[in-house]
Amino acid sequence: IALSEVALAQPIPESERLLYKKTRQIGIHLNTSGFGVGAKISRYTDATHLWTFGADLLFVKHEKETKTWNPVNDPNARPYFYGKLNNFYVMRAQVGRTKIITEKLRRSGVQTSYNWSIGPSLGFIKPIYLEIIYMDEPNNQPYIEVEKFNPDLHYIDNIYGRASGLRGFDELKFQPGAFAKVSFTFEYSNERERLKGIEAGASADFFSQRIPIMAIYEDDSKNPKNHQLFLMLYLNFFIGTKYDQK
C-alpha cells in the first residue's frame, strides 16, 4: 500500500477538524432553467452548524425556447430563438444555515450537509436584437438592419440571425423578487485547507410580475406562458478554502 494511501486513510484529529472557523467558495451552477455562477462565505457557530452569506448570478431560459437558423443556411448568420423578446438574468443575495449531517472523519471521506437559504432576487430584463433582411427595391439587392425583435414585424422569412449580445444592455429593465432554496452538499477534498464538492438542490424565485421572456400571440393556441414563479433543480460544482486558523 502506498504511503499516500495510508495517510489518506488515517482519521483526522479532533483538534484539526476544529482548526478553521470560516470557509469561502465559488461555484458554477447548472439548473433546469439555465446556468450561472455563485460565491459564498460561511462561519461556524458550533461544530456542526454554520451561517452562510452569498450571492448568485443566473441566466434564466424559458422552456419554450427553440434554436432557429436562417432558412438559407448562411454560415455567417447566428442562430436565434424565434419568438424570444428578452433575455432574463437574476442576481440573488442570500443568507442561510448549514447543518453538517456526517463529518469527514478521514481525508478520503465525504462530508454531507443540509442547507437552506433565502433572500431578495433582482431580475434584469434585456431586449433581444436581431438582424433583419430588407430589399433595396431600386437595385433589387438585400441588405441587413439590426432591430429590436418585434413579433408583429419580424418573422422567420425576414430574420437573418441574432445580433450582437451586447445590444440592449442600455435598455435594461428591473424586476424585484425573492427566492428560497434547499440543498444537500457533498464535500470530498482530501486537502486540509481546500474545499471541493457538489451541491444538489431546488430553488424558487418569485417576482412581482410575469417576466416577458417570450412573445405572446393571440391567435396561437400553443402560446408560451411567461412566468412569475421560477422553480429549478440545480447542481453547483464548487471549490473553496478554509481560513481563520486558530
Phi-psi region at 64: left, alpha or beta (left = phi > 0; alpha = psi -120 to 50)? alpha
- Residues 6 or more apart in contact with residue 138 via CB below 8 angstroms: none
- pLDDT tens digits in sequence order for the chain, 246 residues long: 444 444 444 555 555 555 678 999 999 999 999 999 999 999 999 889 999 999 999 999 999 998 888 766 677 888 999 999 999 999 999 999 999 999 887 777 899 999 999 999 999 999 999 999 998 877 788 889 999 999 989 988 889 999 998 999 999 999 999 999 999 999 999 888 899 999 999 999 999 999 999 998 766 666 788 999 999 999 999 999 988 855
pTM reported for the whole predicted model: 0.86
| C-alpha distances in Å from residue 43, one per residue of 20, 68, 78, 184, 199 | 9, 47, 46, 18, 18
